[in-house]
């Protein structure tokens, strides 16, 4: 006879294996927490636009860990860089009557109406790094202006106020657009900085695609000495291009984001990737889940929930002998933990 529970378990495992969704197992309620967390059984969907890259893996791991601690059944849907798929997955989450939907990146015009549809169905919506332009949707972000400003201040500290630059940018992604505002103002303030080449692409293989573009740009403009690449996949691509062209010794790359693999790339001998400005992506994942939890509990997380980044230079990382994000978190408490979107009832359940 067909056992429906076993069939359901098989289906969920098959979906997880196929990358259709990941689940954080539900836990019992939290004593003293507001409803519905006192009883448990809270369901949240995290619908991501970008599914490739270190940042998102660490972000999702942090979200799953925080969800588990709060007794949330978190379902992760990988949008696979496809706006239609992400929309479709939000529709699925609405149909499953989840308590909240976290919209993680994406193209705003493809998402605004479907986010409103979720709100109309009584589902809380939280946005991470996508501007849904809706006062009912709290926005989690990493203070992108600070990320860009600190990276560019470091570029000036190491290269002076006159240099030929390459710039990696793709319009339409909220964090990149905010970082671009700072780059635009920076060029106006520094007449000696010349943007010689601009390129960029965001897809399922961003680093490899950017490497191809960077090779063409560096060949066409051999005088480029600095590349501002404010996304770690961009920086990896430029670094790859520099190595293949034998230019690692005459190029300096300034980026955003960090992962254990990035630390290895930054600190390896002869690396042109000299600085990055970053939050801990696992912390951002946790903060996003807590923002959704506050909304579900009827506790206003505020319109903007911001996690501040830190500057990480190649020199500091080498001197400190830091090899992993975990070691970095242990050395820099401001990097390893955030007080954003917390409440007393979460005290023993926050990262
Ligand atoms: C395509 S947007 C890339 C950025 O999203 C996250 O906010 C990371 O910081 C990454 O740089």
Is the C-beta atom of 129 inside 6 A of ligand 1?
Answer: yes
Ligand 1 nearest-atom number relative to CA 142: 7
Ligand 1 nearest-atom number relative to CA 129: 7
Q: To test ligand 1's pocket by mutation, which of 105, 203, 254, 305 has the most ligand atoms within 8 angstroms of CB?
A: 105
Ligand 1 nearest-atom number relative to CA 147: 9
- Give residue 52's pLDDT: 84
Sheet holding 42-48, edge to edge: 22-23, 72-78, 42-48, 100-104, 124-128, 139-141, 304-306
Ligand 1 nearest-atom number relative to CA 284: 7
Atom 6 in ligand 1: residue holding the nearest Cα: 175
- Give residue 22's pLDDT: 55
Atom 7 in ligand 1: residue holding the nearest Cα: 175
Contact partners, residue 265, CB within 8 Å, separation at least 6? 236, 239, 271, 273
Q: To test ligand 1's pocket by mutation, which of 140, 256, 284 has the most ligand atoms within 8 angstroms of CB?
A: 256
DSSP 346: G
- Give residue 79's pLDDT: 86
Q: How far apart are CA 256 and CA 43, in angstroms?
A: 32
Q: How far is the CA of 19 from the centre of ligand 1 (A)?
A: 21
Contact partners, residue 285, CB within 8 Å, separation at least 6? 58, 59, 60, 61, 62, 63, 64, 65, 66
- Give residue 5's pLDDT: 37
Q: How far is the CA of 53 from the centre of ligand 1 (A)?
A: 10
Cis, peptide link before residue 36, omega less than 30° from 0? yes
Atom 10 in ligand 1: residue holding the nearest Cα: 231
- Give residue 118's pLDDT: 98
Q: How far is the CA of 64 from the centre of ligand 1 (A)?
A: 19
Q: Under a CB-based contact definition with an 8 Å cutoff, are residues 280 and 335 in contact?
A: yes
Contact partners, residue 19, CB within 8 Å, separation at least 6? 51, 78
Q: Which residues of the chain have pLDDT under 50?
A: 1-20
Is the C-beta atom of 231 inside 6 A of ligand 1?
Answer: yes
Element (H, E) at 308: none
Query: pTM score, two decimals?
Result: 0.90
Q: How far is the CA of 26 from the centre of ligand 1 (A)?
A: 29
């Amino acid at each position: 006879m067909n056992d429906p529970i076993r069939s359901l378990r098989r289906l969920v495992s098959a979906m997880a294996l196929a990358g259709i969704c990941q689940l954080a197992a539900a836990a019992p309620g939290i004593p003293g927490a507001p409803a519905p967390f006192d009883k448990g059984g809270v369901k949240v969907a995290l619908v991501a636009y970008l599914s490739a890259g270190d940042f998102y893996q660490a972000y999702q791991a942090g979200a799953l860990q925080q969800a588990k601690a709060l007794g949330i059944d978190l379902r992760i849907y990988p949008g696979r860089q496809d706006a239609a798929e992400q929309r479709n997955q939000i529709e699925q989450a609405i149909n499953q009557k989840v308590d909240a939907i976290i919209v993680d990146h994406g193209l705003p015009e493809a998402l605004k109406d479907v986010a409103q549809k979720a709100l109309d169905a009584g589902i809380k919506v939280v946005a991470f790094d996508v501007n849904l332009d809706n006062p009912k949707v709290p926005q989690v972000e990493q203070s992108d202006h600070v990320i860009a400003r600190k990276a560019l201040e470091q570029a000036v500290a190491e290269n002076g106020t006159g240099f030929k630059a390459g710039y990696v940018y793709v319009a339409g992604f909220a964090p990149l657009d905010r970082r671009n505002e700072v780059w635009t103002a920076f060029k106006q303030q520094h007449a000696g900085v010349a943007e010689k080449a601009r390129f960029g692409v965001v897809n399922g293989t961003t680093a490899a695609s950017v490497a191809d573009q960077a090779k063409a740009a560096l060949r066409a403009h051999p005088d480029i000495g600095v590349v501002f690449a404010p996304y770690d996949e961009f920086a990896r691509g430029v670094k790859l291009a520099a190595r293949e062209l034998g230019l690692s010794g005459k190029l300096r790359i300034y980026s955003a984001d960090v992962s254990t693999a990035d630390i290895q790339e930054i600190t390896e001998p002869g690396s042109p990737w000299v600085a990055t400005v970053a939050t801990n992506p696992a912390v951002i994942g946790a903060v996003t889940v807590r923002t959704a939890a506050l909304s579900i509990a009827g506790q206003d997380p505020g319109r903007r929930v911001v996690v501040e980044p830190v500057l990480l230079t190649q020199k500091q990382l080498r001197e400190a002998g830091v090899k992993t994000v975990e070691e970095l978190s242990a050395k820099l408490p401001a990097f390893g933990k955030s007080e954003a979107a917390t409440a007393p009832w979460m005290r023993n359940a926050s990262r």
